[in-house]
Amino acid sequence: MFRKRSLALALVLTASPAAAQEVMNASTAQKFVAGKHFSYSCFDGTEGSGRIFSDGSASGTIRPGGQGNLRYMRLPSGTLYVDGERICANLKGLPFQPCFNLTKTSDTGFRGAISGIGFMYCEFERGEKTQIARRRGTSEGLALRGSLTGAVP
């Protein structure tokens, strides 16, 4: 459960020098992010890559805290949603539904931070990065390329 919450926060929360940073509203963020593959790294060392789909679902990899095996995760439709001009997440097990401040940092990257808690952020960069995730309980590796094995909701 913790990994699902971490992935959702990481996938929603992206970066280059701040020459022309632009705060993105919900509409701009959806156009910039939906269906594209991003690699990410977060303030706590969590890293991975994935895709957020227009129906609010997401799939990708996560390595919590930057340690251990890379894991494949999938979040159902409606996990991420628009609330006015904000992007928010519906995550079971959290006592609140976090919303995010998204700042475009380059033509291919953005930074996402939890609203009101700016030090909790992830930086995302668009790209086709191959990563290896292990299936739970096996030593079998599952190669995930930008298409994330073609998994589309």
Within 10 angstroms of residue 46's Cβ, the number of other Cβ atoms is 21
- For residues 7 and 79, the answer to whether their CB atoms sit within 8 Å is no
- How far is residue 26's CA from residue 32's CA, in Å, rounded to a whole number? 10
Specify the pLDDT at position 78.
94
Q: Where are the domains of the chain?
A: 2-150
Q: What is the C-alpha to C-alpha distance for residues 59 and 116, in angstroms, rounded to an integer? A: 26
Token look-up 């594209």 returns: 36
Using DSSP's 3-state secondary structure scheme, residue 13 falls into coil
Q: What is the pLDDT along the chain (153 residues), one digit of tens a residue?
A: 555 555 555 554 433 333 457 899 988 998 899 999 999 999 999 999 999 999 999 999 999 999 999 999 999 999 999 998 889 999 888 888 899 999 999 999 999 999 988 888 999 999 755 444 455 555 445 444 433 333 333
Within the chain, strands assigned E span 22-24, 37-42, 47-52, 58-63, 71-75, 80-83, 86-89, 99-104, 109-114, 117-126, 131-134, 141-144
- State the pLDDT at residue 85: 86
* CATH class label, 2-150: mainly beta
